[in-house]
Amino acid sequence: MDELPEGFSLPSFEARAHIPSASVMLSRTSEGSFQVLMGHRSSELPAFPDLWSFPGGGVSRVDRKCAESHPEWLSEMGENRLSVFTLLREMVEEVGISPDGEGSFVEVDDEVRGIVCRDKSGWSEVAESGGISTSGFECQVITERITPPQSPTRFHNLFFHVALGDSGVEPSFPPGRSEFDEFRWWRPEEVITSWENNELHIPPPIVTIFRDLIELMEDGDLLSACAEMAKDPPSGPHRFEYGPGVECILIPTNTLPPSTHTNCFVLGERGGQRVIVDPAIRDEEGFNLLMDKVEEIRGDGSTILCTIFTHRHQDHLGDMDLISQIYQAPVWASEETLSALPEIPGTRKLSEGDIVSVDGPSGRSDWEVLETPGHCPGQICLVGEPGVVAADNCTMVGTILVPSSDGDMGAYISGLERLRDLGPHTLFAGHGPLIPNPERTLTQYIEHRKDRHAKVLEAVRSGCSTLREIASSAYSDAPGANPALAEDQALSHLKELVRTGEVRGTSDGFHV
């Protein structure tokens, strides 16, 4: 890895087993049309903040125990029975709705809900006492997904549809802390329209679910569309849309754990020009993933305008021989990045302010080049209406290194501030999931780096002079930090402090 100090290697990262989970799309009839319930996840959450999603959660030990203790409950659910226990518990916890035992639904009273929210096992206790009934409950699995390898925790999720009909029940917040800070009923087409207008964020699987439902809905009949999907619930790979006109392919790369993949973005509309950003393929698996996507692009009637590389690190540069076997298109990148590639025809040097124009069926979309060289010389971002293709400036998973060898800490912090000042709707990071709250995330990054910068300066002022002493003092609040990486990042801060004149570098160390 280019970011790591010379001679240093990280231990291999072992992926965890997929966690079984269940999510529920609750629907109702209102004013002659079907609506579905979605909740807005709080911006304070560490995982998937600021996204509109469905209620749900992981299968817990108490769900398993309840299913084993009561084999007569939900026996008609077959192989999905355990997930339905989770589904019903989560419905009570997160939205306060439960079956009434007669084929309809009720709003759970505060006492019952408090019992369940205090302890997950409370759901089975209330059900045993007759406070909750599962009799007559119906649901359908409409799709099955495994979370792509964009984060260490991955779920094997079943998406259920539960029709509330005209029961009139409304969601409510649980006592204490909730994952959601707003509930709203939407018509499916409203969700997609709002998402395409950059008015809300939705997880990629839910984007696909709504697209599938809209395609199947005849005369607005959501129930028939769900029934059709339930006959053979879609599973396996799906189009992975991070934003309107921004698709993602997860390419396996030798990158900084816990990330194991690099985000290769495909910009542009189906049926129009497409731009492929960071196709970092270097093996057969990556080759096949990119090949499948390019075949899909061609099947849509699209053409590939160009390949763009955001920077020259090896987990972003692809093997040009492999890429050329899949498609041919000119390569556009900064001068520093182009110099790291073999000589190839049809290159274009990208610099600050250049515009990448992509034509599509609904018009032209422009992406402006923004130089952010702190993480790597020549690194660029692409700024468009959906957000910013942000390369390796920040991530929701793991950390970003500023290598002491060729990074620039001052330029890195300045680049983060420039990105924040743009006020983008979304950040499409080089690794991990989309970042739906750019201002909050970038502010955290900036404050963290400035705080560490101050700690390095304070270490020198306190009398530490060797790199090891300075790093040990500056990272004393992070005992889990790898010593070699801490020293390398401390050196990056020291080089910036030397540049600004706050620290002197001498043959025997660093001094004020």
One domain, residues 214 and 269 = no
One domain, residues 255 and 331 = yes
Number of compact structural domains in the chain: 3
One domain, residues 265 and 157 = no
One domain, residues 351 and 471 = no
Residue 471 lies in a domain: yes
Q: What is the pLDDT of residue 16?
A: 67
User: Distance (Å, rounded) from C-alpha 276 to C-alpha 271?
Assistant: 15
Q: What is the pLDDT of residue 13?
A: 60
Examine the fold and report which residue of 436, 467, 500 is the final residue of a domain before the chain moves on: 436
Q: What is the pLDDT of residue 11?
A: 62
One domain, residues 413 and 466 = no
Residue 477 lies in a domain: yes
Residue 115 lies in a domain: yes
Q: What is the pLDDT of residue 136?
A: 87
One domain, residues 371 and 311 = yes
Q: What is the pLDDT of residue 177?
A: 85
One domain, residues 313 and 375 = yes
One domain, residues 383 and 414 = yes
Q: What are the structure tokens assigned to 296, written together? A: 């899909």
Q: List alpha helices for 380-482, DSSP H.
A: 409-422, 438-461, 467-474
Per-position DSSP letters for 369-430, written without gaps between them: EEE-TTSSTT-EEEEETTEEEEETS--SSS-----TTT--HHHHHHHHHHHHHH--S-EEES
Residue 444 lies in a domain: no
Q: What is the pLDDT of residue 6?
A: 74
Residue 14 lies in a domain: no
- Torsions phi, psi of 47, nearest 5? -115, 125
Q: What are the structure tokens assigned to 491, written together? A: 């050196």
Q: What is the pLDDT of residue 186?
A: 96
One domain, residues 227 and 294 = no
One domain, residues 393 and 490 = no
Residue 8 lies in a domain: no
One domain, residues 337 and 371 = yes
Which region, left, alpha or beta, applies to residue 509 given φ > 0 means left and ψ of -120 to 50 means alpha? left
Segments forming the whole domain that contains residue 203: 19-231
CATH number for 123:
3.90.79.10
Examine the fold and report which residue of 201, 231, 261 is the final residue of a domain before the chain moves on: 231
Averaged pLDDT in 10-residue chunks for the chain of 512 residues: 72 72 95 94 90 95 94 93 96 95 92 92 91 90 88 86 95 92 96 96 95 92 96 90 97 88 97 98 97 97 98 96 97 97 93 98 97 98 98 93 96 98 97 95 97 98 96 94 93 97 94 95
Q: What is the pLDDT of residue 18?
A: 84
One domain, residues 271 and 349 = yes
Examine the fold and report which residue of 170, 199, 231 is the final residue of a domain before the chain moves on: 231
Answer whether 19's CB lies under 8 Å from 58's CB. yes
